[in-house]
Amino acid sequence: MTQYIAFLRAINVGGRMVKMEELKKMLAMPGIKNIRTYIQSGNVVFDSAETDKDALVKKIETKLQKALGFEVKTLLRTIPEIEAIVKKNPFGKYAEDMALHVSFLSGEADKALTEQLLSLQTEFEQFKVVGTEVYILVRKGGYGETKFSNTFLEKKLKLSATTRNWATVNKMLEYKNE
């Protein structure tokens, strides 16, 4: 069995409210076991024998679309992938007045598209693309105003994305092997 974390986009934002107990029931389907959620923003940890991540994503997205009536992009990572994301943090230690976020992408970003965004960085809004993640460093409390929002990244990189703060990314590791 592989432990996965599904980061669901558009859950409990913009009026699309879903209780986590209901979400767990929706995801209770053959091949998905030990479902746990963390906070109300669509973070789901589960076990599955399925090794085809694309097939698993399609299965989850189809089930949620049918149950909720709207599309829920699912960005799936394994526990070892989350451990690697934490270890690969390109910002290392950063100033106390800054906050780190990670945008999970549906694929690897095109280098040329990424390079077009470099000129938009400032001292207080920086990003680094590493594999299928975008690490975003902004002033504390400033993510809501950053240029590097989900919508912006999706539009510019032509990929689906969902973002979590650094504390949530790290907290997900506490769910391994529960």
CB 157 within 8 A of CB 113: yes
Question: Which value, in Å, is the radius of gyration of the alpha carbons in the chain?
Answer: 16
Whole domain around residue 111: which residue ranges? 88-175
95 & 166 share domain: yes
- CATH number at 41 reads 3.30.70.1280
Q: In whole angstroms, give the CA distance from residue 162 to residue 107.
A: 12
Render pLDDT for 72-86 as a digit per residue (tens, 0 to 9). Answer: 899 999 999 999 999
CB 6 within 8 A of CB 75: yes
Render pLDDT for 2-32 as a digit per residue (tens, 0 to 9). Answer: 999 999 987 766 667 778 888 889 899 888 9
103 & 50 share domain: no
Render pLDDT for 52-108 as a digit per residue (tens, 0 to 9). Answer: 999 999 999 999 999 888 888 999 999 999 999 999 999 988 888 999 999 999 999
Q: In whole angstroms, give the CA distance from residue 136 to residue 36.
A: 27
pTM of the model: 0.91
